[in-house]
């Protein structure tokens, strides 16, 4: 009994040693080796703050486990960690790093091992709150941990040059950018762990709507939290209000009534399957440069009137030559291109470099581009009409998306309105699918593999919609 008691005591004061992350938590840790700014967007009570505390403890002590592939510091460092208020910082960040705030004898039962805590100072004005911690590092020196809170204002985050900043819960944008600035001189790193309940704020938009080579978001859903059974997951999901459900269980920003497609992802997502030969198919493309060029292929089960998004593509700052090379295999069979491609009205614009119409450039690169820009049968091409058609199909089970179409699914999560107007940001793949849906009447069946010369006249008859040569 004495041995077991001593064993449990040693585990309690060396919690870091027994930390075993879930796959999503490990993915987030590993990303630190490649990205300066990281967001761990996760639902409530899934382990995001716990994983943040474990990583901070590793950096402060220099004690990394054998499986660690993330960012490493081989020397003592300075870290700022904080949350929305002094009380929340104490009860969340401080508790997980140091131990129960109201029992000093318990300090050392957090992720920073007790033997490494050399000195602490108290914060004024918040009971049981710590201001600074001196932490022993394996190199022989000492790291410094500074606890701060957002309600102190940006100025309180200005004084220090640090190596690492941990924001637990979403910070105001001025505090976030001040935190980044503190790491400039050290070429340090910034980490955030929060549930995005504030909607598409400036900070969330930085990760959800903007692409940057030094920035990444990792999303953890309730399905990734292995400490819940499926029965418990279902019960938790059902307990949340519908407009907060995706934020609290999947880490997707709450957009409320502004979400353009307010349907549960599980209602539209399906696993990929071979497309039956009698189904019609069509491609859609959205031209871009600064914003990505995007494309999708749709498969149409005409008997049930169900449309499936089967493939997607998204790439910025590339020429039609590059895009066409990536898309041609979608419609190539027996050496012939058969898949019709729908395109938007700006395809009639002339490229500033070549002076040729964009649609014509794609035709010259081998795509079977339709002769008419995307429009409904009556000649209109309204965005709202197309979105309404897509939403109605989703709500009636007639719009499905293959699970491999991650770009499409990610865009859906943040596609929203502001002041009643569609926000035209990160909507490229969805726009491509809208163009294809508008021209669904021109969808074609794939030819049989034994295509012969007689088939090569497909679509060239009078009244066809192929772009003429």
Q: Which domain holds residue 140?
A: 13-254
Q: Are residues 325 and 222 in the same domain?
A: no
Integer Cα distance of 376 and 204 in angstroms = 35
What residues have CB less than 8 Å from 382, skipping those under 6 apart?
A: none
Closest CA to 145 of 127, 123, 124: 123
CB 220 within 8 A of CB 46: yes
Q: Are residues 311 and 420 in the same domain?
A: yes
Q: Are residues 211 and 353 in the same domain?
A: no
Is 467 inside any structural domain?
Answer: no
Q: Are residues 232 and 313 in the same domain?
A: no
Integer Cα distance of 40 and 25 in angstroms = 8
Predicted confidence pLDDT, tens digits, the chain (469 residues): 888 776 776 766 788 888 999 999 999 999 999 999 999 999 888 999 999 999 999 999 999 999 999 999 999 999 999 999 999 999 999 999 999 888 877 788 899 999 999 999 999 989 999 999 999 999 999 999 999 999 998 888 886 799 999 999 999 999 999 999 999 999 999 999 999 888 778 898 889 878 789 999 999 999 999 899 999 999 999 898 877 787 888 888 766 557 788 888 889 999 999 999 999 999 999 999 888 999 999 999 999 999 999 999 999 889 999 999 999 999 988 778 999 999 998 755 655 444 368 888 999 999 999 999 999 999 998 899 999 999 999 999 999 999 999 999 988 888 888 777 888 888 999 999 999 999 999 999 998 866 444 434 333 333 334 443 3
Q: Are residues 250 and 273 in the same domain?
A: no
Report the DSSP pairing between strands 293-301 and 306-315: antiparallel
Domain boundary residue, one of 226, 254, 282: 254
Q: What pLDDT was estimated at residue 459?
A: 38
CB 284 within 8 A of CB 341: yes
Token pair for residue 310? 């089967």
Q: Are residues 247 and 297 in the same domain?
A: no
Residue 400 belongs to domain with CATH number: 3.30.420.280
Q: Are residues 214 and 273 in the same domain?
A: no
Is 246 inside any structural domain?
Answer: yes
Q: Are residues 228 and 273 in the same domain?
A: no
- 389 burial type by CB count under 10 A (0-12 exposed, 13-18 middle, 19+ buried): middle
Integer Cα distance of 51 and 57 in angstroms = 10
Q: Are residues 197 and 321 in the same domain?
A: no
Is 264 inside any structural domain?
Answer: no
Q: Are residues 227 and 310 in the same domain?
A: no
Q: Are residues 294 and 368 in the same domain?
A: yes
Total domains in the chain come to: 2
What does pTM read for this prediction?
Answer: 0.67
Q: What pLDDT was estimated at residue 9?
A: 63
Q: Are residues 311 and 215 in the same domain?
A: no
Residue 187 belongs to domain with CATH number: 3.40.50.300
Catalytic residue positions, numbered: 169
């Amino acid at each position: 009994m004495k041995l077991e008691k001593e064993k449990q005591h040693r585990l309690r004061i060396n919690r870091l040693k027994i930390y075993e992350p879930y796959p999503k938590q490990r993915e987030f840790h590993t990303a630190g080796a490649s990205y300066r700014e990281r967001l761990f967007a996760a639902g409530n009570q899934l382990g995001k703050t716990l994983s943040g505390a474990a990583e901070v403890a590793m950096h402060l002590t220099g004690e990394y486990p054998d499986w660690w592939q993330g960012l490493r510091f081989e020397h003592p460092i300075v870290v700022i960690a904080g949350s929305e208020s002094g009380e929340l910082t104490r009860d969340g960040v401080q508790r997980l790093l140091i131990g129960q705030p109201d029992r000093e004898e318990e300090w050392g039962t957090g992720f920073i091992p007790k033997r490494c805590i050399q000195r602490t100072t108290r914060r004024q004005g918040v009971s049981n709150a710590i201001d600074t911690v001196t932490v022993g590092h394996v190199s022989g020196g000492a790291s410094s941990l500074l606890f701060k809170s957002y309600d102190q204002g940006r100025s309180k985050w200005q004084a220090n040059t640090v190596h690492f900043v941990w924001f637990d819960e979403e910070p105001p944008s001025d505090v976030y950018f001040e935190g980044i600035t503190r790491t400039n001189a050290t070429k340090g790193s910034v980490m955030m762990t929060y549930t995005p309940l504030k909607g598409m704020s400036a900070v969330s938009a930085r990760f959800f709507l903007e692409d940057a080579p030094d920035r990444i978001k990792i999303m953890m859903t309730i399905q990734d939290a292995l400490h819940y059974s499926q029965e418990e997951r279902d019960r938790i999901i059902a307990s949340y209000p519908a407009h907060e459900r995706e934020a609290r269980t999947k880490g997707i920003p709450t957009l409320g009534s502004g979400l353009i497609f307010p349907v549960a992802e599980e209602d539209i997502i399906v696993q990929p399957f071979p497309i039956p030969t009698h189904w019609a198919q069509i491609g859609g493309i959205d031209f871009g440069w600064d914003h990505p060029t995007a494309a999708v292929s749709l498969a149409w089960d005409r008997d049930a009137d169900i449309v499936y998004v089967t493939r997607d593509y998204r790439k910025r700052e590339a020429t039609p030559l590059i895009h066409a090379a990536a898309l041609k295999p979608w419609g190539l069979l027996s050496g012939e291109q058969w898949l019709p491609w729908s395109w938007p009205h700006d395809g009639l614009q002339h490229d500033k470099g070549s002076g040729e119409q964009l649609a014509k450039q794609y035709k010259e690169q081998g795509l079977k581009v339709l002769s008419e820009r995307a429009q409904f049968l009556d000649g209109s091409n309204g965005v709202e009409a197309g979105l309404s058609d897509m939403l109605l199909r989703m709500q009636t089970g007639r719009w499905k998306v293959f699970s491999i179409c991650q770009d499409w699914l990610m865009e859906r999560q943040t596609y929203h309105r502001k002041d009643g107007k569609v926000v035209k940001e990160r909507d490229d793949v969805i726009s491509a699918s809208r163009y294809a849906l508008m021209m669904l009447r021109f969808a074609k069946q794939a030819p049989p593999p034994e295509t012969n010369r007689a088939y090569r006249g497909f679509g060239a008859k009078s009244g066809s919609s192929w772009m003429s040569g």
